[in-house]
Amino acid sequence: MKCISPKDLAAYLVGEVTRSQAEDIEEHLASCGSCRKELEGLREMVARIKKPADPAEERDHLPDIRRRIKAGDAGHLPGRRKWPVVAGAIALLAILAAAVYLLLDPGAAEDEFRVKSDQPPATQQDRWAGIRAFSVGAAGTPATLEDVHHESDSLVFTYTNLGENPYDFLMIFAVDGKGRVYWFHPAYTRTGEDPQSIGISKGAERIELREKVRHEYPEGKLWIYGLFTNEPMRVSSIEKLLETTAPGERIPLPGSAQHILATEVKP
């Protein structure tokens, strides 16, 4: 993957990317020191803007920043000393301009990196919590789940749980076109049991759930849900809600974050 553009780094920093976009960016950052350095420069810049040097500076600078960007003068921020002229300063200012642009137009980066199986966030909470699914075939090497899932493959997952108010619990399950439910986390293997959500880490990115799980699905559409909640939920209560929820649609559970992946099962 080529280096990430300043606009896309800014979008990632201010949270205006989809979960799949963030995952692709994070995967690139893990192996690219240049992009990590540029992102850290932007973090420092935003931190300085958010933290006034004294109480007299505690005012909304966004209108002034908008005006300066439109006037072509982003080099001096209101209430701040001028940024030192160093190598890369112009690039950092371009990133700041991009960040402000994204704050003014939150949908600007919505579709740039989305994988085909990933639905866009439905709520603000959905932007900060999500899952990623990986197919594991006979060779044992995980590959990102895309439009097709082969019925002989197992699935493993990672989760991300960020934002100002991250969640405490997670459920991962699938629903086929006829509304049948297949559980991954928590494990649900015995009739009569009623397990609850698994506890998860707050402020965490791409945490691995190492268990490989394989179900017998019919051929056709399959929707995989990542359901994040603040209270533990029972399998029975979610299956009850799913009885009146169309496959692939958001579950009517206020306060939750939901990430829904769509794929198709084939031989």
Q: How many CB atoms lie within 10 A of CB 222?
A: 24
Residues 246 and 181 placed together within one structural domain of the fold: yes
Q: Record the tokens describing residue 247, joined without a space.
A: 């496959």
CB 98 within 8 A of CB 7: yes
Residues 170 and 257 placed together within one structural domain of the fold: yes
Residue 57 has pLDDT above 90, yes or no: no
CB 17 within 8 A of CB 105: no
Residue-range definition of the domain harbouring residue 60: 6-104
In a domain, 120, yes or no: no
> Could you give the number of structural domains in the chain?
2
In a domain, 248, yes or no: yes
Q: How far apart are the first and last CA of the chain?
A: 31
DSSP H helices, the chain, are 6-13, 19-29, 33-50, 62-70, 89-104, 235-242
Name the β-bridge partners of 207: 159
Residue 88 has pLDDT above 80, yes or no: no
In a domain, 114, yes or no: no
User: By three-state DSSP, how is residue 136 classified?
Assistant: strand
Average per-residue pLDDT for the chain: 78
Distance, CA of 207 to CA of 246 (rounded, Å): 29
Residues 59 and 147 placed together within one structural domain of the fold: no
Q: Which residue has the higher pLDDT, 254 or 113?
A: 254
Last residue of a domain, one of 72, 104, 136: 104
Phi-psi region of 139 (alpha: psi -120 to 50; beta: other; left: phi over 0): alpha
- In this prediction, residue 166 carries a pLDDT of 93
Residues 11 and 44 placed together within one structural domain of the fold: yes
The predicted model scores a pTM of 0.61
pLDDT digits (tens, 9 = 90+) for 113-140: 345 566 666 666 788 899 999 999 988 8
Distance, CA of 194 to CA of 185 (rounded, Å): 12
- In this prediction, residue 107 carries a pLDDT of 44
Mean pLDDT lowest for which of 22-26, 81-85, 177-181, 257-261? 81-85
Residue 79 has pLDDT above 80, yes or no: no
In a domain, 199, yes or no: yes
Name the β-bridge partners of 189: none
Residue 179 has pLDDT above 70, yes or no: yes
Closest CA to 5 of 54, 30, 42: 42
Residue 108 has pLDDT above 60, yes or no: no
Residues 129 and 100 placed together within one structural domain of the fold: no
Last residue of a domain, one of 47, 72, 104: 104
Residues 247 and 131 placed together within one structural domain of the fold: yes
Residues 132 and 43 placed together within one structural domain of the fold: no
Q: Record the tokens describing residue 228, joined without a space.
A: 């994040």
Residues 177 and 215 placed together within one structural domain of the fold: yes
Residue 82 has pLDDT above 60, yes or no: no
Residue 218 banded pLDDT, cuts 50, 70, 90: very high
Q: Record the tokens describing residue 100, joined without a space.
A: 């402000």
Last residue of a domain, one of 104, 138, 164: 104
In a domain, 100, yes or no: yes
In a domain, 212, yes or no: yes
Q: Which helix (H) or strand (E) holds 196?
A: none
Percentage with pLDDT > 90 across the chain: 43
Distance, CA of 21 to CA of 37 (rounded, Å): 19
Residue 99 has pLDDT above 70, yes or no: no
Q: Which residue has the higher pLDDT, 40 or 55?
A: 40
Q: Record the tokens describing residue 253, joined without a space.
A: 């559970």
Residue 197 banded pLDDT, cuts 50, 70, 90: very high
Pairing state of beta strands 220-229 and 169-176?
antiparallel
